[in-house]
Amino acid sequence: MRVLKDDLRLERLAGSGRAAPLAEGAVMLPGNERNVRILYQTAEMEVLSTETQTGRVSADVAVNFTVLYLDSGGAPRAIEAQSTQSVSIEVEQATARMRARVWGWVEEVRAEESGGRLSLGAELNVRACVLEEAQRSVVSDVEEAGPLARQELPIRVTNQAAEGRQRSLLSESYPSDRENARILFAHACTTVTAAQAAERAVNVTGEVKLLLVGTDAQTPYFTLQKTVPFAVTVEADGSRFGMQALASAHVQELTAEYRGSEDGELLQVEFILQAEVSAYRESEYTVLTDLYSTRGDGLEVKDETLDFLCGARDYREVQELALPLSFPEGSAPMHSVYGVLARPAAVELERDGGQLVAGGLVSVTLFYDGGEGLASATQLLPFQLSFPPVELDCDLCLQVCSAQALASGPESADVQLGFQLAGPAWELCSLEAVTEVEESGETEAPPAGVTLYYPAGGESLWQVGKRFHIAPEDVQRLNGGSDGPVLIYRRQCEW
């Protein structure tokens, strides 16, 4: 008997973990101004670097705070601050050689002013998963062993072949007829629409949805929504045409301001787009999952469970949700709506049957005319959304990419939110593969003749054939697919 083997190079999910650190920062208000009224505070988390260590994944993250407030004269202002820190996420299975993915988001945000100084804080939800490369030797064929019944399965194995990162400066101009306008706050929601592997590079296309909050001579508050398309080429040594590619993109250093020009007033938007790409090589194999001798030769078959990545794709799904918002007690009554800002404040992703369920809290802040100037009302609202499933929740983030509000009363409004769940997604596969086949020296051929066998509940045709050392197709042929007792027939001699 001759046993042939294949060496499979697999990549699999080895483990995952999460951490909930607190990020803190502080910033002095311009002119050491005091007793300001805070309208809105938000923060975004950015992963700067990652390192896999024994039992943990370490990451350096930056948290970018933005606070909108009314100064002592009642004019709206905005101020930004950044806090950087190191985060340690416990992942018991992690080793230094594994590849790590770190992602996350900001949950609760606070901002308090005292003596002209803003104290800032944010609760972070940081997650990590580690991917392990392993080589497994499996049986591909058995020769010179007499007649065998074989159970084979074709598989597709996915391995990362290349990765790359690139920062690109993008800008866009828009004509404007606003007077004395200035931008207070800018938020970006990035969508990757396609990632295509090329020779030593990955081509990435998508769009950046911008939400701009400003003030001008006519109104103390206005919002603008703009979309900036992009197409960048990211170098990735090892990438080849035909490979599967994944990409993620994030906006950094976003600025928006009004500038005069020969053609009139322009709104100038500028930002850094950081794109990260991976290219994946797909290999196809046929592996044995079980075998036995149909003449009763004793074989000792050993198998092993293989867990591996068998597919990669960019995941992007958008859902809209209408929510009612009621003002907190003590809020000024609303005369008219100026705009609304929203962000997820607590998110949990769970697989529920055939769906991926995102649920938690979303922080919604409504800006409105309170009769004596600009006012705001903030509420935490529960939400639940169902998305198409993914095999592995690794690097998926939920963002609010659009928000609109319509007054439904002096102290309430109907809010329409657009949620986007996006990020790289991997497909996981698992199977039992034969890793060793040896002759035991025993024979188990049943006596010749006719046997009437009653299969146990759930016993398959393969299991029946293996019990009596008859090829499954012969059992099928003799019984015609009957659900009743199985007729086993063996000749007394070979013809």
CATH (domain of 452):
3.10.350
Cα 218 to Cα 231: distance, rounded to the nearest angstrom:
37
Residue 176 token pair = 């404007």
- For the segment 403-410, the average pLDDT, to the nearest whole number, is 93
* The model's pTM: 0.85
Looking at residue 492, its pLDDT comes to 45
Looking at residue 395, its pLDDT comes to 79
414 and 481 both lie in a single domain = no
User: CA 330: distance to chain centroid?
Assistant: 40
Looking at residue 360, its pLDDT comes to 95
Looking at residue 135, its pLDDT comes to 92
Note whether residue 85 is domain-resident: yes
211 and 330 both lie in a single domain = yes
Of the chain, the percentage scoring pLDDT greater than 70 comes to 96
Taking 90 as the threshold, does the pLDDT of residue 262 lie above it? no
- Tokens 């409004």 belong to which residue? 413
46 and 98 both lie in a single domain = yes
322 and 469 both lie in a single domain = no
Note whether residue 242 is domain-resident: yes
pLDDT digits (tens, 9 = 90+) for 26-68: 999 998 888 899 999 999 999 999 999 999 999 999 999 999 9
Q: Please, which pLDDT band fits residue 495 given cuts at 50, 70 and 90?
A: very low
Looking at residue 494, its pLDDT comes to 43
pLDDT digits (tens, 9 = 90+) for 156-197: 999 999 999 999 999 999 999 999 999 999 999 999 999 999
481 or 461, higher pLDDT: 461
Looking at residue 103, its pLDDT comes to 93
363 and 455 both lie in a single domain = no
Handedness of CA 435, 436, 437, 440 (dihedral sign): negative
Domain of 367 in residue numbering reads as: 2-132+159-281+311-428
Note whether residue 290 is domain-resident: no
Note whether residue 348 is domain-resident: yes
Contact 296, 222 (CB under 8 A): no
256 and 188 both lie in a single domain = yes
Mean residue pLDDT across the chain: 90
Looking at residue 302, its pLDDT comes to 94
pLDDT digits (tens, 9 = 90+) for 339-397: 999 999 999 988 887 789 999 999 999 999 998 889 999 999 999 999 998 876 677 88
**In total, how many domains does the chain have?**
2
pLDDT digits (tens, 9 = 90+) for 87-106: 999 999 999 999 999 999 99
Looking at residue 485, its pLDDT comes to 77
